[in-house]
Structure formats: structure tokens, C-alpha cells
A and B are shown apart, each in its own frame.
Chain A
Amino acid sequence: MKENFYGGIGCSEVLESLSDYVDGELSAERRAQIDEHLQHCSNCAHFGMYFQTMVRSAPGSMESDGSFDAGVLERLHQALDSTED
């Protein structure tokens, strides 16, 4: 796969910084370099969109309200009793 250089950086550097980019943890200068690169490189722009969508979908997609029935609490009590003996 051919690596492109735009904004003074190559695709591999963009790929390396993608999490920090999505999390807003880059310096303004580094962010500007990546923005510039993304404007010209469709491979990185498309992948960046996929990556960002995946990261931002995680809380809604993977959080769930684990059911918490009385049995769980009862077993907790039993365990607590046995450690207090």
C-alpha cells in the first residue's frame, strides 16, 4: 500500500496519531498537520472517519444494564458472612 505525504507527514504518522486526534489530545500544530493531510489523502480521510465512528459508537453500543437480580445480592451476603466468621 502506497504511503502519501501531505501536510509534512506520511500516512503512517497519521495512523499512529489517530487515537490522540480523535481524543483531542494533540498539540495545535500537530492537529493542523493532520487536518492538512486528511484534506488531500482519501485513504487516511476514509479510514479516519471509520475509526472515529467506531470510537464514538462504543459507549451507546456496548454499555448495557447488566441485570442484577436478588440472587446476586444474596450470594454477596453469603460471601460476606463467610469472610466474617
Chain B
Amino acid sequence: SNRRWAFTMTCDPNPDRALIHRCGEGDRAAFDALARRHGPRLLAFLQRLLGDRSLAEDALQGTFLAAFRHASGYRGDSARAWLLTIARNEASRLRAREERATRNASLMDSLMDLGVAAGWGARDPEHLVSLAQQSERLKDALRRLEGSEREVLLLRDVQQLSGKETAQALGLPIAAMKSRLHRARLRLAVELRKGKDAR
């Protein structure tokens, strides 16, 4: 009844659980509600991750279809983390199809070389701090990173998943995720500075 539904909405700390459960039973209204609740943020995430609107929409579609199909396997933890994990996997699949695998030579740089390129020892530290506060510069810098760098930054720093959740979403051990995250942040700092010189 409506009353029981209202009661569930009020008392359940995770209202997505009921929606996902109903999706698992093939309930299209629940599917719509889930898509409306999480779609916009997932689309923004995918757009940033893939750097392309139409590819992001394809990935969003794949994400919700996969979520609908696998809803009965949902274990009741964070729905946002669950959906972000599916979205990330879907984006990886699409990107692998779309892109040739290219290995950025800068990945071979030593950490210290990367740090220097990122601004360690620079003579204009205050200016660098001001660059880091400029939203458009950060977005431009993010766009110039490799896909694997963008996805770890988006999950951990933008979506603010925990370290453990990020590692799980990426299918990596924590130490490997942290190493990738650190290098990605340094690369972001490099690109942020390059943006400054390019304009």
C-alpha cells in the first residue's frame, strides 16, 4: 500500500535498495525512478571520463541496462558506488573498442621528473595555487589526461569514493590504486601548468 511505501521511504536509510530490488523483479517504474535519481550524475561522470557526450550516453545506456539485468545480484551496499562501478566498467569497455591502446611515454618518467614537471621547485608557487583553484583550468587539464588517469581521479577526487571503493571499482588492489592515483594527480598538476603556458 501507499502507506507502507511511505514508511519504507522514511525509515530505510538506503531507499535505492527497494528500487533495485524491484528492478530485479522486472519493475519498469522502479527502473525509471532509479534512472532519474542517478542518471544525471552518472552521465556527468561518464562525460568527464570519456570526454564525449554521445559516447557517454552509450555508456549510460549500457550502465542502466546492466544494472537492470544484474539488479537481483545487488547486495545492498552503496547504490552510488555500485552504479559507478558498473558505469566505469561500461566506459572501459567502450573506450577499449573506440581507442587504440597507446602508452603515454610520460608514464615512464621517474616520479621526481614528474614532480619537477608538475611544479616542484617552480619559482611561481603562488600562481600555481591560484591555477589550482580555477575550475575551467582543472577541467581542461583533466581532459588532457589518459583515460586510466581520468577515471581514478574522477572516482576518488571528484566523486569522492573511499580508497577501498575506488580500488574495487577499478578492480585493483589498494596499493596499485594509490600508486595510479598519485601519478594521475601529478600528471594533472603537469597539465594544469601546461595550460598556463599554452594561453
Interface residues, chain A, with chain B CB atoms under 8 Å away: 1, 3, 11-12, 15-16, 18-20, 23, 25, 43-44, 46-47, 49-51, 53-55, 57-68, 72-73, 75-76, 79-80, 83
The 9 residue pairs across chains A and B that have the minimum distance between CB atoms: A66-B44, A46-B125, A66-B43, A54-B132, A58-B157, A61-B135, A19-B182, A68-B40, A53-B132
Interface size class of B (residues with CB under 8 A): 35 or more
User: Which chain B positions have C-beta within 8 A of A51?
Assistant: 118, 185-186, 189
Inter-chain CA distance A54–B125, complex, in Å, is 13
The residues of B that contact A50 with a CB separation of less than 8 Å are 119, 125, 128-129, 132, 189
From A23, A61, A64, A68, B39 is in contact (CB under 8 Å) with: A68
If over half of A's interface residues share one DSSP class (helix, strand or loop), that class is named, otherwise mixed; here it is helix
Complex interface: chain B residues within 8 A of A59 (CB): 157-158, 160
Q: How far is the CB of A65 from chain B (nearest CB, A)?
A: 5
A1 adjacent to B48 (CB under 8 Å): no
Main secondary structure of the interface of B (DSSP, over half): helix
Q: Using a CB-CB cutoff of 8 Å, which residues 31-89 of chain B contact chain A?
A: 31-32, 35-36, 39-48, 56-57, 60-61, 64-65, 68-69
Q: Answer yes or no: B22 CB below 8 A from chain A CBs.
A: no
- B125: chain A residues within 8 A (beta carbon): 46-47, 49-50
| A73 CB contact (under 8 Å) in B39, B48, B128, B181 | B39
A79 to B120 Cα, complex, angstroms? 50
Q: What sequence of 0s and 1s flags, for each residue 149-185 of chain B, a beta carbon within 8 Å of any chain A beta carbon?
A: 0000110011110010000000000000010011001
B5-13, B90-98, B108-116 - interface stretch:
B108-116
A80 with B68, Cβ < 8 A, contacts A23-B163, A54-B192 known: yes
* B150 nearest in chain A by CB position: A62
Known contacts A59-B157, A59-B158, A73-B39; A54/B189 CB under 8 A? yes
B194 within 8 A of A: no
- Taking CB atoms, residues of chain B closer than 8 Å to A66 are 40-47, 56
Chain B residues positioned under 8 Å from A80 (CB to CB): 28, 31, 65, 68
